[in-house]
Chain A
Amino acid sequence: MMKHTISELEDIASQVRRDCLRMVHAVQSGHPGASLGCADFFTALYFEVMNHDPKFNMDGKGEDLFFLSNGHISPVWYSVLARSGYFPLSELATFRKLDSRLQGHPTTHEGLPGVRVASGSLGQGLSVAVGAALTKKLNGDKSIVYSLQGDGELQEGQNWEAFMFAPFHKVDNLIASIDYNGQQIDGPTEKVLSLENLQAKFEAFGWHVITSDGNDMAEITKALHYAKSLTGKGKPILNLMSTQMGYGVDFMVGTHKWHGSAPSDDQLKTALDQIKQTAGDY
């Protein structure tokens, strides 16, 4: 039983994309590219798949948890958290400004509801998610831990320590997704440091790997539900999710150039003209 129709979820994702662009434009800094690329994933996760409580509690006992490892895509997470009811929508206007809880990269430090660990320095999130999943097992808590990492981030060695650990320790209440967009700051991952055959690598490490199209709402929703059905079977689950950086805006899509650049006034207008306002801008 779906909480929302695919069309409703697509409408939410559309509004989330507008939020991302407007937030980054307002302070002329931040990371729009992968925020746009992951808007569908975040929407599916928070509005459909996860069992979570916007009356935030750090320990999150009895609810699903999400950890963002590639913290620079904070705009999309902040938008989805606000639109899920974790904090007032108006607070999105404070993104990256002095005294804001919406720091450039997500943190617990200012007490933003929904965030359980700081991220930004790459490669650390999966280890934290594994730890949270272990605690859930110790607590007899059947809920699930989700995480997201960038693909370029996989160049950090700590990831592979965690990839090795989780199958060996049968951390089967964990669904790790990879934002497989093939781009990083200095160019395509293939040119910067190729990831080669990721699926084969994860399978060799002992993960149950599924693949998905992260920019097709019907498919990503289905993939995450399927991933959920695979939990509790002795293996951690890895969702190798293809996305396009900058998805939804014609001049941003598919290039690393919008990884960390803000649109100008004119570019924002052009971009917003392509993305439907569905739930009201903040």
Chain B
Amino acid sequence: MKKYTYTEKKDTRSGFGAGLHEAGKRNENVVALCADLVGSLKMDAFIKDFPERFVQVGIAEANMMGIAAGMTIGGKIPFTGTFANFSTGRVYDQIRQSIAYSGKNVKICASHAGLTLGEDGATHQILEDIGLMKMLPGMVVINPCDYNQTKAATLAIMEHQGPVYLRFGRPVIPVFTPEDQKFEIGKAWMVNEGKDVTIIATGHMVWRAIEAGEKLAELGIDAEIINIHTIKPLDEEAVLKSVKKTGCVVTCEEHNKFGGLGESVSRLLVTEYLVPQEFVAVNDSFGESGTPDQLMTKYKLDPVDIVAAAQKAISRRDKK
């Protein structure tokens, strides 16, 4: 197992804030919109340096999505910022018609995704957003794994022509990817090469997959770990190459098991190369109040759950 270390923990939303600020410096067409959550989205640096390119919309997310769509006409690249719940479910029809169907170059940037926003509870903990967004034709869906990757992803989506959903979160987590990485949309990142089981993880679950990989190594299981930061378009080649080697797979996401990364992988496997798959995901449930760690444990998204899923996937493969 390749050794991963970190010197600090940071929140992925701060990676977005840093990326947005840098994007603003690099391209004068970048504009940012926010629905009364500037501090939570870490947009302060952008606003300080580019006040004329920032639009405070107030608590009116539907209007924000429409304004963002309109701002693309004339060449602006709008980045919208609010919580994941209010970035997707609340404004699905606005995104569907005014952005996705209309092919608008809007970057929908969503913080506080998943359970790990913690104490606010289920009203704010959307676990359905990946599914909602990946079903929209032409929508790119990205869920980076740490601060550095989120910053790099924010810059990468600026260069991409078309609508993007960028999902990130609130808690501080280890920063373990390189600071000046090149982020390639749709390209999986090989975390660890292994031969016994493929572990595919996205977002906050990638570090947990690494921790699981270390535990599996102690058990003599050599796990291949892949960071799928881009859920759509899925790097099908990387997934197939890995499962052809290992013969079984575990998918890990801070999302409902319905509609997420796991189902995207299943669709690929069923049509191309069928192997046993286990899901580490929320089991068709809403969240609740609690600390992020408590919630991840209760909803079975801990490294120990990944280990158990890997063992089960291996045993199903071997029974065949």
Q: Is B139's beta carbon under 8 Å from chain A?
A: no
CB–CB B103/A161 < 8 A: no
Is residue B97 contacting chain A, with contact meaning CB distance below 8 A?
Answer: yes
Q: Does B68 contact A (CB under 8 A)?
A: yes
Give the distance to chain A from B48, nearest Cβ to Cβ, in Å: 18
**Contact mask for chain A residues 222-248; partner B; CB cutoff 8 A; 1 contact, 0 none:** 000000000000000000000000000
B73 within 8 A of A: yes
Q: A61-B74, A130-B70, A135-B71 are in contact. Are A124 and B53 (CB under 8 A)?
A: no
Chain B at the A interface: SS class: helix
Choose the segment among A18-26, A113-121, A184-192, A210-218 that binds chain B (4+ C-beta atoms closer than 8 Å): A113-121
Interface size class of A (residues with CB under 8 A): 35 or more
Contact A59:B70 (CB < 8 A) given known A118-B97, A162-B63: no
B308 within 8 A of A: no
Q: Are B70 and A161 in contact (CB under 8 A)?
A: no
Shortest B24–chain A CB gap in Å is 13
Segment of B8-16, B54-62, B123-131, B276-284 in the binding face? B54-62
Please state if A131 and B62 are interface contacts (CB–CB under 8 Å).
Answer: no
Give the B interface residue count (CB, 8 A).
32
Whether A158 lies near B73 (C-beta < 8 A) is no
A118, A128, A161: most-surrounded residue (chain B CB, <10 A): A128
Complexed CA–CA distance, A117 and B53 (Å): 22
Q: Which residue of A lies closest to B31 (CB)?
A: A138
B257 at the interface (CB under 8 A from A): no
Q: Cβ of B218 < 8 Å from any Cβ of A?
A: no
Q: Is the CB of B73 within 8 A of A60?
A: yes
The answer to whether B58 and A124 touch across the interface, beta carbons within 8 angstroms, is no
Q: Which of B52, B66, B71, B74 touches A124 (beta carbons < 8 Å)? A: B66
Q: What CA separation (Å) do A123 and B98 show in the bound complex?
A: 11
Q: Does A12 contact B (CB under 8 A)?
A: no
Quick check: is B65 within 8 A (CB to CB) of the other chain? yes
B104 within 8 A of A: yes
Contact of A131 with B101 at beta-carbon distance under 8 Å, contacts A58-B73, A164-B58 already known: no
Query: B98 to chain A: which residues have CB within 8 Å?
Result: 117-118, 124, 127-128
Q: How far is the CA of A125 from the CA of B73 in the complex (A)?
A: 13
CB distance from A30 to the nearest CB of B (A): 19
B67 at the interface (CB under 8 A from A): yes
Q: Does B75 contact A (CB under 8 A)?
A: yes
Chain A 55-72 per-residue mask, 1 if CB under 8 angstroms from chain B, else 0: 000111100010100000
With both beta carbons as reference points, the residue of chain B lying nearest to A121 in the complex is identified as B97
Most chain A beta-carbon contacts within 10 A, residue among B53, B67, B75, B94: B67
Does A141 reach chain B (CB closer than 8 Å)?
Answer: yes
Contact B73 A135 (CB under 8 A): yes
Question: How far apart sit A110 and B76, CA to CA, in the bound complex (Å)?
Answer: 22
B69 within 8 A of A: yes
Q: Which of B31, B66, B102 contacts A109 (CB 8 A)?
A: B102
Q: Is A158 a contact partner of B94 (Cβ separation < 8 A)?
A: yes
Within the complex, which residue of B58, B78, B102 is in contact with A117, where a contact is CB–CB below 8 Å?
B102
Q: Which residues of A contact B102 (CB under 8 A)?
A: 107-109, 117-118
C-alpha spacing A129/B69, complex, angstroms: 9
If A107-B102, A118-B97, A138-B52 touch, does A162 touch B66 (CB 8 Å cutoff)? Answer: yes
A44 and B92 alpha carbons, distance in the complex (Å): 35
Known contacts A117-B69, A124-B66; A136 and B74 CB within 8 A of each other: yes
Residue of A nearest to B53 (CB): A138
By a beta-carbon cutoff of 8 Å, the part of chain B in contact with chain A is 31, 52-53, 55, 57-58, 60, 62-76, 78, 93-94, 96-98, 101-104
Residues of A participating in the B interface, judged by any CB pair closer than 8 Å: 58-61, 65, 67, 107-109, 116-121, 123-136, 138-139, 141, 157-158, 161-162, 164-165, 169
